[in-house]
Structures are given as C-alpha cells and as structure tokens.
Amino acid sequence: MPVKGILVGVLAIAGSAVFVRSRLLIAEVSGPSMAPTLVPGDRVLTYRTAGRPVFAPGQVVVLRDPDRAASRRPGLWLIKRVVAVGGQAAPAGLPADVVPVGHLVVLGDNGRLSRDSRCFGFVPMTDVVGRAIRKMGS
C-alpha cells in the first residue's frame, strides 16, 4: 500500500507541474515603456490565454510583437496595457473610430517611450500570449 500511495503522489505532483507549466509563464520587462508600473528587470507572472479569452481595459497583457518586421528584437514579447477592446471606441490617432471585434488597443504606461497601438494599430487577440496576474519584482 505505501508504494501505491507514493506513486499516486508522484503522479499528482508531475501532473500539476505539467499543468502549471502549460498555463503560466514568467515574462521579463526589458524596456521603459511600462514605467513606472513595470521597469526593466521586473518579472511578471502571466496566465496564458486559451480558447476565447476575455480582456478588459486596464489589464496588462503579454503579446507577440504585431509588427515583427519593425521590431529591433524579433521573437520577443511586448508587455502593454489594454485600453480598448472590440466594439469600444478607439483612441484618437488609430485607423478607425471603433476597435474591430477580435482586436485590442494596447498602450504602454510611459507613452513617450512606448511602441504600441499608436505605432502598429489594432492587435489581434490571437497575438496575446497571456494576461499578467502578478508582478514578481526584479
């Protein structure tokens, strides 16, 4: 009996580790675009999105760079704040008055130093990797 109990415990721990790794990731901030909220070196625990994620203005998200060709560091993620979702009014300066369904407007908290929707337009929700759930510090 004790061997069976140990085996069940080991399998439960292994299964939990696989689940956690598939749903959570840690993203590291490398630039000043989200300062003062997030600064270079901060790490952000992120819940990976799947299926039909729901986003709301104010949430911080990790996304694939929508303008990969213009990125100085292709393959890296961006961390930005959602300011509008599909069906909502788009901020001035974007290509339409209303955010298309299935898209987001994301901006950096430090607008002067942020490459965000003002540069690359609406972000397809499929480009969002996950939603930040906790700042872990530097």
Q: Against a cut of 0.85, is the pTM above it?
A: no
Whole-number Å distance between alpha carbons of 109 and 38: 9
Write down the CATH number for the domain with range 25-137: 2.10.109.10
* Of 62 and 67, the one with more pLDDT: 62
Residue keyed to tokens 């956690």: 20
Mean predicted lDDT score pLDDT of the chain: 85
Give 94's contacts (C-beta < 8 A, 6+ positions apart): 105, 117, 118, 121, 122
What are the pLDDT digits (tens) for 90-135? 999 898 999 999 999 999 999 999 999 999 999 999 999 999 999 9
